[in-house]
Amino acid sequence: MEETQTDSCIICGQRHQKGILILAAFLCEDCELEIVGTDVHDVKYPYFVHQMGQVLYKKNA
């Protein structure tokens, strides 16, 4: 594994120094908070699920 300090976020695609790793995917603090604060009925929610689903798919492929 490479260093994860400046990984690209799976949601916004920007590089951040702070964030969390979900499986092998990096999620920045901003997006983490946004997802946590997003209602399942929000229009953005399917996008988040889709992005994270891609990560799961890649890992299992």
Which residues touch 25 (CB under 8 Å, ≥6 apart)?
Answer: 10, 52, 55
Q: Does 9 bind Zn ion (CB under 5 A)?
A: yes
With residues binned 3-state (H G I as helix, E B as strand, rest as coil), the percentages for the chain, rounded to 5, are: 40, 15, 45
Residue from 25, 26, 31, 51 in contact with Zn ion (CB under 5 A): 31
Q: Is 25 in the site for Zn ion (CB under 5 A)?
A: no
33 versus 57: smaller Cβ distance to Zn ion: 33
12 binds Zn ion (CB under 5 A): yes
Residues found near Zn ion in the complex (CB under 5 A): 9, 11-12, 28, 31
